[in-house]
A = this chain, B = another copy of it.
Amino acid sequence: MKPREARLEHLQGAPGARREPNRVPASDRSIRSLGRQTVKLFDPLKIGGMTIPNRIMVPAMVTHLCKEDGIVTQDSIDRYVRYAAGGAGLIIVEAMAIHQVKSGPLLRISDDKYIAGLRELTQKVHATSDSKLVPQIIHFLKVARTGWRQTADILSVADIDQIVEEFGDAVRRAREAGFDGAELHSAHAYTLSSFLSRANPRTDDYGGPTLEGRLRLIGRVMENVRRKAGRDFPVGVRFNGEEFIKNGYTVLDSKLIAVRLAEIGADYISLSAGGKFEDALHTPGQVLYPYNGYSGDRCMPGEWLPRALHAGIAAEVKAYLLSQGHHIPVAVAGKLDAPQDAERVVAEGLADIVGIARGLLADPDWPRKVRTGEADRIVQCDYCNVCKALDGTHRTVICALWPQGSIQAPQDDPSVQAPKWTQPESNVTAIAKESRVELKWPRAAGATIYQVYRAEAQGEPEMVDAVKVTFWVDNGVLGRHTYRYFVRPCAATGRPGQRSNTATVEVPAPSYMVTQ
């Protein structure tokens, strides 16, 4: 018998069919620019003892740029320095483990010997910009290639005690290494999250059917972290706003989890979603990857999921926190790389910090370009999820839009020429077949990326894909409807050439409509 709530806020959460978006001119919208609007996104924010210069966060993303030894490499440093140069306000360094369990290439903070490497990372980043740098601290349970995995109920209380101590030691090391704070990873498929989960299988004080039981581990960890790393060191917690698994928790619980975290002095909370083992698909001979089930779709949403898809969860959590008198900053991620979306999240108070993972991987200069009104030069993520596939197979995580062979995003270079079409007036051709439209265009000199834009008959053009090839197939059209397409060739740095001609095409009606 679990209590529930019947607040009108849930309905309030419904998209207002009657609300109009803040319209910006179509030409700006099509390139997702904020133009010269006042932007709250660039207001600084105090988070405990640190002040982030703007509200843009790089969420933790595994890079696989270190080796099995877990020591920071030059490639690791280059990756984070690049984000700092791009101007993100808060950079969360990929998850680093508090313990020595075997894993793939994964950073470690499980011994004082790792401090030196981490200190080099913090020094290089801090020498680059005023971005704040925070490591994500993780404990995970064992997984085997057979599909077996260690679950929360297998741990003894002594094991739990050890985890509590290890988290405290790890955050103390993070402070010694010069980080500006630490983030406890209590989201997705990892230990803290498995305890917090509504699917927590334990029957003792650390689970059972009670929310307090599920909260006990993160509560003890926070207490130990404060004792070992100091009460003045900023510590945030990332957790799932919704689990998106069978019997998983929803915002009804995450509002309460957020209140508890605020009560025990977390300096910020960062909301993610899904990414659970419970619905992961097992490929024989491989360890479970918690991002390949439905909850993985929600965690790293592909192109078929809506933009800003978790902003509503954050808004409910934020509103509830405020109703309880808690002003703790809330971060949220999930397809928020359109500058207007990011701005709106902050301006409307849906959340305080906007996490943009794949969008900043694609273009670490996103913050700088948006701030200086050059959003039309952003290398826009197309949610192809090649990065996710690389992570899933333990390969170096890169963006498919980077130049071939690069393991880092290209440096912005103002001297790069804009790509040039050879025949500026007649580039794109579109052929409509029943059920699809096929586009093609010639190469443009200096282009490495082609952004494909589409508009419905009366609609505004939107980027529907970004490709390196010179053709594209649109499988999502409706027969009897007319579509317009154009292509923007872009240099690797995002500098765009002139947009192509617009190809207009009417898709034939399916036969069952013709006979009517």
**A147 adjacent to chain B (CB < 8 Å):** no
A515–B223 contact, CB under 8 A?
yes
Residue of B nearest to A456 (CB): B324
A271 CB → nearest B CB, Å: 12
Taking a contact as CB atoms closer than 8 A, the residue among B223, B253, B515 that contacts A512 in the complex is B223
**A25 adjacent to chain B (CB < 8 Å):** no
Interface centre among A17, A295, A338 (most CB of B within 10 A): A17
Given contacts A17-B348, A212-B436, A294-B244, contact A198 B304 (CB under 8 A): yes
For A219, what are the chain B residues with a Cβ–Cβ distance below 8 Å? 510, 512-513
A residues 214-235 in Cβ contact with B at 8 Å: 215-216, 219-220, 222-223, 226
Taking a contact as CB atoms closer than 8 A, the residue among B265, B472, B477 that contacts A212 in the complex is B477
B15–A312 contact, CB under 8 A?
yes
Interface centre among A211, A213, A344 (most CB of B within 10 A): A211
For A464, what are the chain B residues with a Cβ–Cβ distance below 8 Å? 3-5
What's the number of copies of this chain in the assembled complex?
Answer: 2
A476 CB → nearest B CB, Å: 4
Taking a contact as CB atoms closer than 8 A, the residue among B11, B210, B319, B513 that contacts A311 in the complex is B11
Interface centre among A14, A215, A252, A294 (most CB of B within 10 A): A14
A462–B6 contact, CB under 8 A?
yes
Roughly how many angstroms separate A41 CA and B318 CA in the complex, as a whole number?
Answer: 31
A476–B3 contact, CB under 8 A?
yes
**A102 adjacent to chain B (CB < 8 Å):** no
Roughly how many angstroms separate A454 CA and B295 CA in the complex, as a whole number?
Answer: 32
A17–B304 contact, CB under 8 A?
no
Give the segment of A79-87, A153-161, A183-191, A256-264 that binds chain B. A256-264
A290 CB → nearest B CB, Å: 13
A312–B13 contact, CB under 8 A?
yes
Chain A, 9-44, contact with B by CB distance < 8 Å: what is the 0/1 string? 111111111110110000000001000000000000
A residues 234-264 in Cβ contact with B at 8 Å: 244-253, 256, 259-260, 263-264
Given contacts A11-B311, A223-B516, contact A510 B476 (CB under 8 A): no
A10 CB → nearest B CB, Å: 4
Known: A1-B474, A245-B294. 16 other contacts (CB 8 A): A2-B475, A4-B303, A6-B338, A8-B22, A11-B341, A11-B345, A14-B311, A16-B348, A17-B322, A17-B349, A198-B304, A211-B476, A246-B297, A252-B304, A252-B306, A264-B512
